[in-house]
Amino acid sequence: MQRIALLAIAAAFAVPAAAQETTLRVVSAFPENSLYVKRLENWIERVNAEGKGVLQLNFIGGPKAIPTFEVGKSVQGGVVDIGMSTGAFYTNVFPESDALKLTEMFVAEQRKNGVIAYVNKVWNEKGNMQYLGRIVENQPFHLYLNKEIAKPDLKGLKIRITPVYRDFFGSMGATLMQTAPGEVYTALERGVVDGYGWPVGGIFDLNWHEKTKYRVDPGFYDAEVSLVANLKKWQGLTGKQREFLQQQVINFEGRNDFWKAYGSEEIKRQAAAGIKAITFDAATAAAYRKQAIEAGWAGVIKLSPQHGPAMQKLFTKK
Ligand code: 173
């Protein structure tokens, strides 16, 4: 009798303790076989090992589970809890998302200088999202081509884009075609496009190097890949769970140094694969980078007169 009573008491205590652990569903807007996803999966393993009894993450998959340009909507609506995406993939939720490509300082500094606070205000209000952190940085974007150019003029060239590159490549006269990363190889193979935008690293992940002749230097902007959570889900976590998850994301950000070395390695690997660099003289290169930034901000401000100017001020290095 007494033993049964004790067991009942133990069970009564065990139930709330077990209820403290929650599992969040995670999806990636980038393809399953990309390095971004490999690093995400490694991180999730670590989170799950350290998060027993507090919080667990369940990786559902990439674009095969939820298409690239639907991930933002799925996080907004709570179909999934966390998305790994870049802002350019969820401008269909709110247009300011694409502005993160224009930050001129790393995320560690963004946490101190008010950028992350402002971003979270906008992401909360307009996206129903909590911005958890940035796990790719120090990765400039480049234009990759199969036709040689002598100057920054893309008239007559069809270029694969996402919103990241739209204003800049458009300003150089390119014909634009938007696709998810998963469709770039086929577009190149069929000759539907003459080139594409992508960061310095990653073109080997999906075999695009087989169909790429040139990389245009210099790079521009800084590729952003981040983790965003459904706001209601985030707010529904216990304080302990929120703190744990936020700290785990900050630990993940702490490993962003990786990207710098990776970028230099990828440039060497591209050269070894026969991809030639197209370079401009110093003045043209400087004008090219300036045009990228100006076209980028003009695009953001046009879509968001409300937040664009404030973001420009905060994101630009003084
Ligand atoms: O698909 C893309 O070219 C793109 O917008 C992007 C953004 C961040 C990282 C990699 C690709």
Tokens encoding 318: 């003084």
Determine the distance separating the centroid of ligand 1 and the alpha carbon of 272, expressed in angstroms.
Answer: 23
Which among 35, 86, 160 is the best mutation to test ligand 1's pocket, defined by most ligand atoms within 8 Å of the CB? 86
Residue 17 in this model has a pLDDT that exceeds 90? no
Q: Which helix (DSSP H) or strand (DSSP E) does residue 152 occupy?
A: none
Structure confidence at residue 129 as a pLDDT band (50, 70, 90): very high
**Mean pLDDT calculated for residue range 292-308:** 98
Q: How many CA atoms lie within 13 A of 138 on its CB side?
A: 17
Looking at residue 101, its pLDDT comes to 98
* Residue 107 reports pLDDT greater than 70: yes
Using the mean position of ligand 1's atoms as its centre, give its distance from the Cα of residue 101 in Å.
9
Closest CA to 288 of 153, 197, 157: 153
Closest CA to 182 of 66, 74, 63, 88: 63
Q: At residue 271, does pLDDT exceed 50?
A: yes
pLDDT-derived band at 318 (thresholds 50, 70, 90) equals: confident
214 vs 188: CA distance, rounded Å: 13
Within 6 A (CB) of ligand 1 lie 86, 88, 162, 164, 181, 197-199, 223-225
Tokens of 218: 């210099």
CA–centroid distance, 199 to ligand 1, in Å, is 7
Give yes or no for residue 305 having a pLDDT over 60: yes
Q: Tell whether the model's pLDDT for residue 13 goes beyond 70.
A: no
pLDDT: which is higher, 12 or 169: 169
Mean pLDDT for the stretch of residues 285-297: 98
Count of residues for the chain?
318
User: Residues 6 or more apart from 59 whose CB is under 8 A from it?
Assistant: 26, 27, 28, 40, 41, 44
Residue nearest to atom 1 of ligand 1 (CA): 181
Q: What pLDDT shows up at residue 34? A: 97
Nearest Cα to Cα of residue 169 among 184, 185, 155: 155
Mutate to test the pocket of ligand 1, among 160, 164, 193, 224 (most ligand atoms within 8 A of CB): 164
Phi and psi dihedrals of 232, rounded to 5? -65, -40
- Please give the pLDDT value at position 14: 52
pLDDT at residue 283, rounded to an integer: 98
Question: Would you say 244 and 20 are in contact if contact means Cβ atoms under 8 Å apart?
Answer: no
> 43 vs 47, 176, 201, 245, CA distance in Å?
6, 35, 20, 12
pLDDT over 70 for what percent of the chain?
Answer: 94
Distance of CA 132 from the midpoint of ligand 1 (Å): 19
Question: What pLDDT shows up at residue 272?
Answer: 98
Structure tokens at 18: 């077990």
Would the CA dihedral through 181, 32, 76, 48 be positive or negative? negative
Structure confidence at residue 26 as a pLDDT band (50, 70, 90): very high
Give me the phi and psi of 292, to 5 degrees please.
-60, -50
Three-state SS across 180-233? CHHHHHHHHHCCCCCEEEEECCCCCCCCHHHHCCEEEEEEECCCCEEEEEEHHH
Rounded to the nearest integer, the mean pLDDT of the chain is 95
pLDDT of residue 1: 45
Handedness of CA 26, 28, 31, 36 (dihedral sign): negative
Average pLDDT for residues 124-146, to the nearest whole number?
A: 98
State the pLDDT at residue 3: 54
For ligand 1, the distance from its centroid to the CA atom of residue 125, given in whole angstroms, is 24
Q: Give the percent of the chain with pLDDT over 90.
A: 93
**46-62 per-position pLDDT tens digit:** 999 999 999 999 999 99
